[in-house]
Structure 1
Amino acid sequence: MKKQLGSIALLVASSAASAQSSVVLYGRVDGGIEYLNHIANGNGGSSSLWSAEGGNWGTSMFGLKGSEDLGGGTAAIFNLETGLQIMNGTSGGGRMFSRRAYAGIKNETWGQLQAGRNLFIDSDGIWEFDPFVQQAVSSASLVRGRSWQQTSNNVEYHSPVWNGFDLQGQYAFGNQASGFNNGAAGEFGRSNGIMLTYHSPLFDVRGIYDELRDSNGRLSNIFQASREYFVGGNLRVQKFKFQAAYTHYFAPDTPAGLADRADHYWLGATYQATPKWAVTAAGFYIHVGDGAGDVAHDPGSHAMLYALGTTYNLSQRTFLYGTVAYVNNSKNGTFSVFATPRDSSSPTSPLAGQSQTGAYVGMMHMF
């Protein structure tokens, strides 16, 4: 009997040793100085602003992620992550974990399945094809932050890589008895998307289709709740990386008479001059289709955004950055160099038809 108990204890100890687990604390801290001119001041004129700002190159954040080896190439995983504003010490926009909060199972053969809160699928997918990697000045600027969103109640699948191809699908439930497509007040409604990517040493290509609904379950605003069709590509040639993309937005539930579609294009390149120093230049163009506008909807208009930026690595975890940008609006356009919602209570947008220049410098540290 003692021999049997000893064998069982040895088996349990061996199983515990083989079921390896890990938990990692990670994050990044970003802070600097910003300048912006031609800000509409509410009195029919415009003003300039110098300010200390955090998160211009990328959102400051911290998170926890971990895994437990379940054997047979399968692991249990989790990720908890929240955004920070280092200039005033606030975090999460009222949430303990504003960006990610999910648990899942990952297998080497069939992929990863997870459930919880996460970046919306285009936010997770567009940055890799954006020359300015979703900085404050980036592909998000002329779409008023539509590609920066997070959604709750997500169920997601990530495939393994098959001959360079991988697939990601996301489905966010509204969780409301009042209607299957509805969401809670202040939240998105039922939303979903699918993303297909091909990676190779020379180039990458990605396509995304998604639907982001408002709390009433409607596709009612091209830059807030709409359908999105995205295709983007990267090309690597020696020290250069060239990036281009096209996005079409369509909001069929927009109130009659208001603009309900837009097309977004960009082209950019990064030159890796040395292992520490890189320079990026890009142009972004938005064309909003015919229709009127109101406080929440952009009217038919167009704008061109030019951006030039640089980074210099002080170490593997710390770098300095600087970006300058200029936006030229058409007669009815009020787009900012930054991704300001049209109905924002603290806008950075210029007056209709007015151009705008913005710049920022700062430092990012990752841990």
Structure 2
Amino acid sequence: MKNVFLGVLIGACSFAGATARAQNSVTLYGVADAGFDFLSQVQTGVGTTASRLRAESSDFGASRFGLLGKEDLGGALAVIFNLESGTNLMSGTAGSSGGRLFSRKALVGLNSEQYGRLQMGRNLFIANDQWDADPMVQQAYSSTALVRSRNVPITSNNIEYQSPSIGGFSAHVQYALGNQAGAFNSGATGEAGRSDGVQLTYKNSLFMLRGMYDELRDSSGRMSNVFTSSREFFVGANLYVNAFTLQAAYTHLSAPDTPAGLARSADHYWLGGQYRPTPALTLNGAVYYIHVGSGAGDATHDPSGHATMFATGATYSLSKRTLLYATVAHVRNASGSNFSVVNNNPGLNNDNLDNPLPGRSQTGGYIGINHSF
């Protein structure tokens, strides 16, 4: 597999160099992100915890590389493709690949300057579009933490359309097939079932408003866990005032197929902003709050409860492509809740060791460097 992978990459880079000089193009791009992080209240056994300091990749942004291609068909119409794989800089391994050569994106489509973009393949699920309404821009400690990664999944078999901006308005629609015979809503083992979403955005120089509805199903075609397979209603707003960006959002999650007696709804709020005192320096901070509705929990479901997370950070750009970053966060859990500053799995499963013990607070921080190429 390694030799095949290297052969594909070397061949693609050679092709990129040859075609970049022609009218059409293939571009090799990526992000390299590495640093150190600290996390308190990491579980080390039954009822015991300790702090951890480690070297880590992708705290600020996912380390990745990809190929972006375009063939001009004339009349402002082009064929496009995008292949993108995650990677872990500390180990040199593929990041959460599940055996995929291109784990994050593998798609092809048509792009029209007048009519928008239609594309098919594997891609970030539509919920990822919340990133620019998040003061912490969906880095490791951000809006992803208290919803257990519900707003950053990746789905296969997508068909999606993104409109151009018309008078400040734009739309994004996505539909992911499960591809299973005799079970239209189901997906392959370990994959999402049929999932879909629609998003509307209005943006001008003063503010942005965004509304979104999506459905993420499990491999059985059910919405059975509020943080992994559920319905989502999202509304977010940005206000741009000189060097300040003020940001607020609300999300309601519901999982109607959750087993009886377990919590099946949650409400997530955040408020914060960004401040750019100089072109190179950005300061950001936010408060996030989650409330899980009535019901019990188990190994993979969170029980009724609530938590509040405070996060703040800074980035300093050394150039257009390289920045230094530092972020700290603290989460306070109500009795029975075990939310982390990191977007770990829900429930009391003993594999979720980065979650604090129920009712405990947790503090984390990281520093690093992020380079785009």
On whether the aligned pair clears a TM of 0.5, the verdict is yes
Partner SS state of residue 224, structure 2: coil
Stretch moving more, 66-75 or 351-360: 66-75
Q: Which residue pairs with 2:366 in the alignment?
A: 360
Q: Which residue pairs with 1:31 in the alignment?
A: 34
Residues 289, 309 of structure 2: 8 Å contact kept: yes
User: Aligned-pair distance for 1:102?
Assistant: 0.4
Match of 2:279 among 271, 275, 278: 275
Match of 1:51 among 49, 54, 60: 54
Distance 1:344 1:106, change over 3 A: farther
Match of 1:170 among 169, 174, 177: 174
Q: Which residue pairs with 1:12 in the alignment?
A: none
Residues 44, 353 of structure 2: 8 Å contact kept: no
Residues 341, 347 of structure 1: 8 Å contact kept: no
Q: Which residue pairs with 1:8 in the alignment?
A: none
Distance 1:301 1:346, change over 3 A: closer
| Partners of 1:44 and 1:303 in 2: CA distance | 20
Partner SS state of residue 151, structure 2: helix
The structure that has the greater radius of gyration is: 1
Residues 345, 352 of structure 2: 8 Å contact kept: no
Residues 329, 363 of structure 2: 8 Å contact kept: yes
1:50-78: per-residue Cα shift (whole Å, max 9, x none)?
10000000100000011111111211110
Q: Which residue pairs with 1:14 in the alignment?
A: none
Aligned ranges for residues 108-257 of structure 1 at < 5 Å? 108-123=113-128, 125-257=129-261
Amino acid paired to 1:329: N
Residues 226, 251 of structure 1: 8 Å contact kept: yes
Match of 1:285 among 276, 289, 303: 289
User: Aligned-pair distance for 1:42?
Assistant: 2.6
Q: Which residue pairs with 2:6 in the alignment?
A: none
| Partners of 1:189 and 1:42 in 2: CA distance | 34
Aligned ranges for residues 6-21 of structure 1 at < 5 Å? 20-21=23-24
| Partners of 1:256 and 1:345 in 2: CA distance | 24
| Partners of 1:120 and 1:48 in 2: CA distance | 33
User: Aligned-pair distance for 1:100?
Assistant: 0.6
Q: Which runs of 5+ in 1 are unaligned?
A: 1-18
| Partners of 2:300 and 2:138 in 1: CA distance | 23
1:231-250: per-residue Cα shift (whole Å, max 9, x none)?
00111111111110000000
Q: Which residue pairs with 1:347 in the alignment?
A: 353
Match of 1:96 among 70, 92, 101: 101
Partner SS state of residue 137, structure 1: coil
Q: Identity across aligned pairs (percent)?
A: 55
Residues 307, 331 of structure 2: 8 Å contact kept: yes
| Partners of 1:344 and 1:313 in 2: CA distance | 40
1:87-138: per-residue Cα shift (whole Å, max 9, x none)?
1011134211111100001112221111100000011x11010111110000
| Partners of 1:57 and 1:216 in 2: CA distance | 33
| Partners of 1:313 and 1:347 in 2: CA distance | 34
Partner SS state of residue 284, structure 1: strand
Q: Which residue pairs with 1:325 in the alignment?
A: 329
| Partners of 1:333 and 1:39 in 2: CA distance | 15
Residues 281, 308 of structure 1: 8 Å contact kept: yes
Q: Which residue pairs with 1:15 in the alignment?
A: none
1:308-366: per-residue Cα shift (whole Å, max 9, x none)?
10011111111100001000000011000000012473531000000000000000011
| Partners of 2:334 and 2:324 in 1: CA distance | 34
Q: Which runs of 5+ in 2 are unaligned?
A: 1-21
| Partners of 1:163 and 1:238 in 2: CA distance | 22
Stretch moving more, 49-58 or 103-112: 103-112
| Partners of 1:208 and 1:62 in 2: CA distance | 29
Q: How many corresponding residue pairs?
A: 348
| Partners of 2:247 and 2:114 in 1: CA distance | 31
| Partners of 1:30 and 1:64 in 2: CA distance | 18
Q: Which residue pairs with 1:41 in the alignment?
A: 44
Stretch moving more, 224-233 or 336-345: 336-345
| Partners of 1:347 and 1:340 in 2: CA distance | 9
Amino acid paired to 1:208: M
| Partners of 2:164 and 2:243 in 1: CA distance | 29
Residues 26, 64 of structure 1: 8 Å contact kept: yes
| Partners of 2:214 and 2:313 in 1: CA distance | 30
